[in-house]
Structure 1
Amino acid sequence: MMMTKKDLKLKLKISELKTFIKKSKQFVDRSLDYSIKNLFLSDLLSLNVEFIQTVNFMFLMSKKKT
């Protein structure tokens, strides 16, 4: 079956769309990955701050007793 010029253009457009969708999906996946990592790091940081505050408080309380 012979492809016309119009068929070839359509096939090219479909190919470009598939490539665009694939790249968009990769971008979204990467963005989500970074977002999840940032959320995890911010949670870790807040836990770290809470831990330091608790240790500091315990240290201050132990100094008051002596």
Structure 2
Amino acid sequence: MPHLKWQKSTYSSGNPNSDCLEAARSPEGHLYLRESDDPDTVLVTTPARWAALLRAAGSGATH
């Protein structure tokens, strides 16, 4: 895995001990996601697929 600069959501509480989603983007454009309390488990996707997931979740789609 490339060296990544992980970022927490601006909606995080600011507490460094709080668990939240962290995201990073590789120079190739891949999107990496991990839970701050389990940083060794990383999901990799593309920005387009992530956007499609968020749209589906927002619309209540079940497929």
TM over 0.5: no
Per chain length, whose mean CA-contact separation is higher, i.e. which structure has more relative contact order (CA < 8 Å, sep 6+)? 2
TM-score, with length taken from structure 1: 0.26
TM-score, with length taken from structure 2: 0.27
Whichever structure has more helix as a proportion of its residues is 1
Highest CA radius of gyration, 1 or 2? Answer: 1
